[in-house]
């Protein structure tokens, strides 16, 4: 559990102080950046140069960038300057650049983080690119009537299970909530083995499970009001019943799980590959990757599975992509995005963590070029699984309605779903009061805005 | 010394201490003043302008149940941790003051926890107290002390104790060093005098050791009390205030206001509250136990 | 109340690495109840170690220590019912004078009221009644030492042990405290064991003294006897100020007319004396400075030059230079007319001579027979 793990998807940015950083750090950054403003301003107007800020920290992926950048410069004469501030600092870096009047041409990171920048009118319209490249609808980010994000890749939230234990016990993989509880109970043999894992802490890992299972139960945080504005829906009408039901389901599941009162992302993986839980879940295939390197014997027995369905079979979707700074060398940036997405090395970039970084488009997933990889060849079952659940993912900011919900940060930033699980599973509070309290917390924050 | 009554001398004094004073003001006090004034402004991520709101942040904060719960946790944590450190320091200080085998090595070893980076200590303790793989639980299970592993940092009822023990362990060595230094400077004749008056080991401890350690213990209590009240890093690394809010002390709570709710004004008000509490406690402390007055003449 | 002490073959061995030394070497002696007994000797002679063994602050390597008939060798300090005063006073600085004096009573759980009474009585005895509310730092050195004594005597211990209690004080206070302690001894009448390197203290205060040397008590006797009849040359020179004059003399002449000669002086001695010195060709001859008298030339045993005259008040201490470089001290009334540089005539009464063995230092004769000695 001490192993350093990268946080997946949207949560990576949510965890950092994204809103604060956007504005307030901009002022700080302005002061620090002042001496270089003049030169950078001149640079920004240079059509032959673009600055590319990427969240990427994987050297394999960075090497691919270098290759594509060289080809791009050879073809267009536009040189690309890379910056890798790391996921902890990227939001601050982006804000600083905007505040100093020299927005980065390109920022590659989670669409959830980009949403905050877009809401402040700092991202260029990339609708043309989205249309040209055929980006699927569920990966889009529309703010003020225009696309603001070009998705390169995505991660699905789904389960992983020990097929050997299922076989031994003569169990079929779970499909719905009842069968999930049944197999978890059957495989539960504490303290050596637990049926499943239900982190119940104010952590991203915990929140993600709650939010995913709410999607499965068609339960919502917000609802579009008559005035076209979102309002808190968590504790309203039938919806409250669904939220309570979700919470109670996860409370039952927690009885067949280790006490997850302080679990975070790393525990979802380490508990699994140390052979202590029969079922786990993750945002993508990193759990498989970690199992391959830490418990090679378990890896072939590790199978992907959709988390149990109830009213829907939706799942939480995490999207990453290119974002073009408004007022920057927008044209050069757009050229680069197109060039990148059509470059053969795009596949190589996707392979930097095989099966974890899922291409934006299904046809790429099913292309021979994508399948031409040792890990993918070994685990074609995972690829087939991803193909089978394709398109059912929902980004949180589109879960509660067709219009972008700009309030998701109000419950995601402090992992409110995780708090709800903790309050019930650890604190012993009853589900209804937890839901009411959670709804009040969101309302209070809304009234603060 | 004559006062700087001549203007020339005054000028010299100003020239001599001026730069240092300005530097001190810039580096030490301006950030503090800035942080404290922030408490009177509405300063959120969505509100780039700082609006003066008077005491609004304080009214909001003082009405929060969370604040009072966090204050309670802080008091428990501070008293517990400082108490543990003093007990730890006394025990090992007395032990290492005795002529035991390997004393020199033990003395060097005892400083080690203090030298380790907090992140290392946090991770190491999470590891050794881990309910599944932790060595402590393995031992407890194999000795039959417990039937099921204890979730030290995850159990609502044990997390605070575990955090207290961890910080106590980390900073206990500081107490050991100070106490040991003081013990070594106690005149051995005082013990002999006490014994010649009929005092046994316990009375010697009460009547010679403790009075001699009084200043040191009070100093440790004050310094470590302030440090522990403000302790953030280790708690954040290990529990992030969890499980639920079991270890959510004031610094953790204020941090969450600042970086989860992104409300800097309210967080600053929280800092202000902490500052005032520490100030009041320190003033009371200095009124009743003035460590500087405790300097003793030992012949 | 007071007890007698018995030390039986008490030995204390300190070892450092491979080396070990006997700080106290097979010491046996008896101290009677109510005695004022002093261990005196130069530093490193084992006197303090002996006291600390009696106190129980130092373990005994071999041998036994008995209080009356009770073997206390294995009993820790706090069980021995002693009172002790230390060279560095060692008052509890954080306690008031009242608390310091009453400490042993508090430890013994004596009722508060009784403690107060006894502390006040003790303070009165030591003339520090007005200091009870103060802290030790507010007191002078002499007052602090009184408090330390008060702390030691308040519970009327079986034995009162004093380890160089006056050495931290200045000369005047020392003299004052000396008589104070003596008075106290008469009042409380407990056995006192006193350690000092100062032979004047030993001489003036004690009922008996033990002169310590290399871990052994080389002479145990009343001060007067030790002064008059030193058992060894080292004792003779240690006890008494200024130190006894001791010089080499050769034994000459036929057996029927033996003589002692030195510095051109030659004196006949009795056959009896010679018998005691038989087998020796040289001896160490000693005479106390007080035994040297200025006399008219015709009564003189020897003549010398007065090289230095140190007035002591009524008397003077004179440095005398005898012919071949021998230097002698004389203490006595010297007329003012006798100035430095003048020739003086000196006589020594034969009974005032001590004769020591040249190698072992042991005494051979205390005084020589009078009638055989003739002047030059």
Residue of B nearest to C101 (CA): B197
- Quick one: which H or E segment has residue A132? helix A127-133
Torsion of CA B63, B67, B68, B73, to 10 degrees: 170
For A37, C63, C181, C196, the CA distances from C36, given in Å and listed in that order, are 96, 23, 10, 13
Using the predicted structure, report yes or no on whether residue C2 has a pLDDT greater than 80: no
Q: ipTM of this predicted complex?
A: 0.82
Residue of C nearest to B195 (CA): C78
pLDDT of residue B122: 87
Residue of A nearest to B238 (CA): A262
Phi-psi category of residue A14: left, alpha or beta, with phi > 0 → left and psi -120 to 50 → alpha: alpha
What mean pLDDT do residues C216-224 have? Answer: 91
Omega before residue C242 within 30° of 0, cis: yes
- The answer to whether the CB of C223 falls within 8 A of the CB of C202 is yes
With touching defined as 3+ CB pairs under 8 A, do chains A and C touch?
Answer: no
* Least reliable range by pLDDT among A76-80, C176-180, C211-215: C176-180
pLDDT bin (cut points 50, 70, 90) of residue A11 is very low
Contact C77 B192 (CB under 8 A): yes
**Subunits touching A (CB < 8 Å, at least 3 pairs)?**
B
Kindly state whether B299 is in contact with chain C, defined as any CB-CB distance less than 8 angstroms: yes
- Tell me the per-residue pLDDT of C231-249, one tens digit each, with 9 for 90 and over: 999 999 998 888 899 999 9
Within 13 A of C15's CA, how many CA atoms are on the CB side? 5
* Identity of the residue in A1, A21, A276 whose CB atom sits nearest the CB atom of B126: A1
**Residue whose C-alpha is closest to residue A381's, from A305, A291, A287:** A305
* Identity of the residue in B189, B208, B297 whose CB atom sits nearest the CB atom of C86: B189
**Subunits touching C (CB < 8 Å, at least 3 pairs)?**
B
Question: What is the residue-averaged pLDDT of chain B?
Answer: 82
pLDDT of residue B293: 54
Higher pLDDT, A33 or A176: A176
What number of other Cβ atoms are within 10 A of residue C14's Cβ?
13
- The answer to whether the CB of C160 falls within 8 A of the CB of C152 is yes
pLDDT of residue A168: 92
* Identity of the residue in B133, B156, B241 whose CB atom sits nearest the CB atom of A426: B156
Within 13 A of B44's CA, how many CA atoms are on the CB side? 15
Contact B48 A23 (CB under 8 A): yes
Contact A20 B45 (CB under 8 A): yes
Q: What's the rounded Cα separation, in Å, for the pair A230 and A223?
A: 5
Q: What's the rounded Cα separation, in Å, for the pair A431 and A428?
A: 9
pLDDT bin (cut points 50, 70, 90) of residue A1 is very low
- Tell me the per-residue pLDDT of C301-324, one tens digit each, with 9 for 90 and over: 888 999 999 988 888 999 999 878
**C62-67 vs C70-71, strand pairing mode:** antiparallel
- Tell me the per-residue pLDDT of C70-122, one tens digit each, with 9 for 90 and over: 899 989 988 888 999 998 888 999 999 999 999 999 998 999 999 999 999 98
Kindly state whether B197 is in contact with chain C, defined as any CB-CB distance less than 8 angstroms: yes
Residue in the block written with tokens 């009896």: C272
Contacts by B40-44, CB closer than 8 A, 24 or more apart: B40/B265, B41/B265, B41/B268, B42/B265, B43/A24, B43/B263, B43/B264, B43/B265, B43/B268, B44/A20, B44/A448, B44/B262, B44/B263, B44/B264, B44/B265
- Tell me the per-residue pLDDT of B14-63, one tens digit each, with 9 for 90 and over: 788 888 888 887 887 787 787 788 888 876 654 556 778 788 888 888 88
Using the predicted structure, report yes or no on whether residue C339 has a pLDDT greater than 50: yes
Phi-psi category of residue A235: left, alpha or beta, with phi > 0 → left and psi -120 to 50 → alpha: alpha
What number of other Cβ atoms are within 10 A of residue C70's Cβ?
13
Q: What's the rounded Cα separation, in Å, for the pair C367 and C286?
A: 10
- For an interface test with B, give the residue of C79, C89, C103, C136 to mutate (most B CBs within 10 A): C103
Nearest-Cα distance to chain B for C182, in Å, is 22
Q: Cβ contacts of residue C31 below 8 Å, gap of 6+?
A: C4, C5, C6, C7, C37, C191, C193, C208
- Tell me the per-residue pLDDT of B117-135, one tens digit each, with 9 for 90 and over: 888 888 888 888 887 778 8
Beta bridge mates, A303: A161
Nearest-Cα distance to chain B for C140, in Å, is 13
Region B63-288: CATH code: 1.10.3720.10
Kindly state whether A271 is in contact with chain B, defined as any CB-CB distance less than 8 angstroms: yes
Residue in the block written with tokens 């408490």: B39
* Least reliable range by pLDDT among A28-42, A190-204, A368-382: A28-42
Chain A residues inside the 8 Å CB shell of B126: 1-2
Tokens standing for residue C346: 């000196």
pLDDT of residue B8: 67
Listed in order, the ranges of chain A carrying CATH 3.40.190.10 are 9-155+316-394, 156-315+401-448
What number of other Cβ atoms are within 10 A of residue C248's Cβ?
12
pLDDT of residue A38: 38
What number of other Cβ atoms are within 10 A of residue C243's Cβ?
15
What mean pLDDT do residues A76-85 have? Answer: 93
Chain C residues inside the 8 Å CB shell of B190: 90, 92
Q: Between A and B, how many CB-CB pairs are < 8 A?
A: 94
Q: Which of A207-221, B123-137, C267-281 has the highest mean pLDDT?
A: A207-221
- Tell me the per-residue pLDDT of A219-266, one tens digit each, with 9 for 90 and over: 999 999 888 889 999 999 999 999 999 999 999 999 999 888 888 888
Contact C107 B203 (CB under 8 A): yes
Kindly state whether B188 is in contact with chain C, defined as any CB-CB distance less than 8 angstroms: no
Torsion of CA B286, B290, B291, B293, to 10 degrees: 150
Phi, psi of B161, deg, nearest 5: -60, -45
Phi, psi of C348, deg, nearest 5: -130, 130
Kindly state whether B207 is in contact with chain C, defined as any CB-CB distance less than 8 angstroms: yes
* Identity of the residue in B195, B214, B298 whose CB atom sits nearest the CB atom of C78: B195
Nearest-Cα distance to chain B for C112, in Å, is 17
Kindly state whether B190 is in contact with chain C, defined as any CB-CB distance less than 8 angstroms: yes
Residue of C nearest to B293 (CA): C94
- The answer to whether the CB of C288 falls within 8 A of the CB of C245 is yes
pLDDT of residue A41: 45
Any idea which architecture A156-315+401-448 has in CATH? 3-Layer(aba) Sandwich (3.40)
Tokens standing for residue A43: 């640079």
- Tell me the per-residue pLDDT of A113-146, one tens digit each, with 9 for 90 and over: 899 888 888 899 999 999 999 999 999 999 999 9
**Residue whose C-alpha is closest to residue C2's, from C210, C192, C182, C154:** C192
Residue A306's Cα: distance from chain center in Å?
Answer: 16
Chain C residues inside the 8 Å CB shell of B206: none
C-alpha distance across the termini of chain B, in Å: 31
Residue A416's Cα: distance from chain center in Å?
Answer: 16
Contact C55 B194 (CB under 8 A): no
pLDDT bin (cut points 50, 70, 90) of residue C371 is low
- The answer to whether the CB of A161 falls within 8 A of the CB of A305 is yes
pLDDT of residue A112: 87
CATH number belonging to the domain at A9-155+316-394, selected among 3.40.190.10, 3.40.309.10, 3.40.50.150, 3.40.50.1820: 3.40.190.10
For C219, C242, C353, C362, the CA distances from C231, given in Å and listed in that order, are 6, 18, 13, 6
């Amino acid at each position: 559990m001490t192993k350093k793990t990268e946080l997946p998807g949207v949560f990576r940015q949510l965890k950092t102080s994204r809103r604060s950083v956007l504005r307030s750090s901009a002022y700080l950054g302005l002061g620090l950046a002042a001496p270089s403003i003049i030169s950078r301003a001149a640079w920004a107007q240079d059509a032959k140069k673009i600055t590319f800020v990427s969240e990427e920290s994987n050297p394999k992926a960075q090497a691919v960038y270098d290759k594509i950048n060289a080809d791009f410069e050879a073809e267009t004469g536009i040189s690309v300057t890379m910056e890798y501030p790391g996921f902890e600092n990227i939001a601050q870096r982006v804000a600083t650049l905007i505040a100093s009047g020299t927005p980065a041409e390109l920022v590659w990171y989670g669409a959830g983080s980009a949403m905050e920048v877009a809401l402040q009118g700092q991202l260029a319209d990339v609708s043309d690119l989205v249309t040209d490249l055929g980006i699927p609808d569920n990966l889009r980010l529309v703010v003020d009537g225009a696309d603001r994000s070009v998705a390169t890749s995505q991660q699905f939230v789904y389960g992983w299970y020990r097929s050997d234990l299922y076989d031994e016990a003569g169990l079929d993989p779970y499909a719905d909530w009842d069968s999930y509880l049944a197999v978890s109970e059957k495989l539960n043999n504490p303290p050596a083995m637990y049926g499943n894992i239900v982190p119940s802490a104010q952590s991203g890992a915990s929140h993600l499970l709650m939010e995913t299972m709410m999607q499965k139960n068609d339960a919502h945080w917000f609802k579009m009001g008559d005035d076209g504005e979102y309002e808190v829906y968590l504790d309203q009408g039938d919806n409250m019943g669904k939220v309570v039901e979700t919470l109670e389901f996860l409370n039952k599941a927690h009885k067949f799980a280790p006490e997850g009162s302080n679990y975070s992302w790393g525990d979802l993986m380490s508990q699994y590959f140390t052979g202590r839980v029969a079922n786990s879940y993750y945002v993508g295939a990193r759990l498989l990757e970690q199992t391959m390197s830490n418990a090679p014997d378990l890896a072939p027995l590790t199978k992907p599975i959709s988390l149990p369905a109830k009213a829907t079979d939706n799942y939480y979707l995490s999207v990453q992509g290119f974002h073009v700074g408004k007022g920057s060398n927008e044209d050069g940036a757009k050229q680069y995005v197109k060039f990148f997405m059509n470059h053969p090395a795009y596949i190589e970039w996707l392979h930097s963590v095989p099966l974890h970084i899922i291409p934006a488009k299904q046809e790429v997933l099913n292309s021979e070029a994508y399948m031409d990889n040792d890990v993918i060849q070994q685990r074609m079952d995972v690829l087939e699984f991803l193909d089978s659940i394709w398109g059912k993912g929902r980004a949180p900011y589109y879960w509660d309605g067709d219009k972008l919900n700009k309030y998701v940060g109000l419950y995601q930033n402090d992992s409110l779903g995780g708090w709800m699980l903790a309050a019930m599973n650890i604190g012993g509070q009853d589900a209804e009061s937890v839901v009411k309290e959670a709804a009040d917390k969101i309302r209070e924050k809304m009234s603060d805005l | 010394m004559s006062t700087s009554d001549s203007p020339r001398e005054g000028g010299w004094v100003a020239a001599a201490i001026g730069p240092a004073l300005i530097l001190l003001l810039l580096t030490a006090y301006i950030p503090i003043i800035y942080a404290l004034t922030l408490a009177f402004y509405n300063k959120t991520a969505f509100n780039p302008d700082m609006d003066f709101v008077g005491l609004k942040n304080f009214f909001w904060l003082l009405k929060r149940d969370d604040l009072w719960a966090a204050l309670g946790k802080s008091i428990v944590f501070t008293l517990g941790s400082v108490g543990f450190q003093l007990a730890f320091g006394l025990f090992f200080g007395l032990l290492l003051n005795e002529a035991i085998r390997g004393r020199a090595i033990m003395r060097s070893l005892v400083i080690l926890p203090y030298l380790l980076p907090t992140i290392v200590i946090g991770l190491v303790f999470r590891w050794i107290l881990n309910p599944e793989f932790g060595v402590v639980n393995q031992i407890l299970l194999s000795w039959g002390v417990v039937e099921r592993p204890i979730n030290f940092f995850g159990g609502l009822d044990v997390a605070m104790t575990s955090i207290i023990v961890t910080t106590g362990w980390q900073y206990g060595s500081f107490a050991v060093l100070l106490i040991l230094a003081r013990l070594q400077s106690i005149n051995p004749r005082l013990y002999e005098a006490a014994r010649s008056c009929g005092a046994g080991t316990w009375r010697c401890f009460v009547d010679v050791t403790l009075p001699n350690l009084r200043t040191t213990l009070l100093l440790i209590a004050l310094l470590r009390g302030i440090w522990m009240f403000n302790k953030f890093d280790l708690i954040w690394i290990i529990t992030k205030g969890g499980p639920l809010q079991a270890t959510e002390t004031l610094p953790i709570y204020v941090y969450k206001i600042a970086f989860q709710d992104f409300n800097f004004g309210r967080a600053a008000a929280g800092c202000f509250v902490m500052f005032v509490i520490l100030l009041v406690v320190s003033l009371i402390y200095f009124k009743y136990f003035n460590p500087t007055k405790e300097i003793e003449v030992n012949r | 109340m007071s007890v007698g002490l018995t030390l039986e073959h008490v030995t204390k061995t300190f070892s450092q690495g491979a080396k070990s030394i006997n700080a106290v070497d097979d010491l046996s002696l008896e101290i009677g109840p109510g005695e004022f007994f002093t261990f005196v000797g130069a530093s490193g002679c084992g006197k303090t170690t002996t006291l600390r063994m009696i106190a129980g602050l130092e373990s005994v390597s071999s041998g036994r220590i008995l209080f009356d008939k009770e073997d206390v060798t294995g009993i820790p300090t706090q069980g021995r019912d002693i009172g002790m005063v230390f060279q560095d006073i060692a008052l509890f600085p954080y306690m008031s004078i009242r608390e310091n004096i009453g400490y042993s009573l508090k430890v013994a759980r004596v009722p508060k009221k009784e403690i107060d009474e006894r502390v006040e009585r003790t303070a009165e005895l030591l003339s520090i009644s007005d200091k009870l509310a103060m802290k030790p730092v507010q007191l002078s050195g002499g007052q602090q030492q009184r408090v330390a004594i008060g702390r030691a005597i308040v519970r009327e211990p079986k034995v009162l042990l004093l380890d160089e209690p006056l050495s931290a004080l200045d000369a005047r206070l020392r003299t004052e405290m000396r008589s104070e302690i003596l008075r106290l001894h008469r009042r409380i009448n407990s056995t006192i064991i006193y350690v000092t390197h100062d032979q004047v203290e030993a001489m003036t205060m004690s009922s008996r003294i033990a002169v310590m040397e290399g871990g052994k008590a080389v002479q145990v006797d009343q001060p007067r006897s030790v002064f008059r009849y030193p058992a060894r040359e080292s004792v003779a020179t240690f006890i008494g100020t200024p130190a006894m004059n001791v010089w080499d003399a050769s034994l000459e002449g036929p057996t029927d007319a033996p003589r002692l000669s030195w510095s051109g002086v030659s004196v006949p001695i009795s056959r009896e004396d010679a018998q005691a010195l038989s087998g020796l060709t040289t001896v160490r001859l000693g005479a106390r400075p007080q035994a040297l008298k200025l006399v008219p030339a015709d009564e003189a045993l020897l003549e010398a030059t007065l090289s230095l005259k140190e007035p002591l008040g009524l008397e003077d201490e004179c440095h005398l230079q005898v012919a071949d470089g021998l230097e002698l001290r004389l203490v006595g009334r010297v007329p003012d007319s006798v100035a430095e540089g003048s020739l003086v005539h000196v006589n020594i009464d034969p009974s005032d001579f001590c004769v020591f063995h040249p190698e072992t230092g042991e005494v051979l004769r205390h005084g020589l027979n009078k009638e055989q000695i003739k002047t030059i």
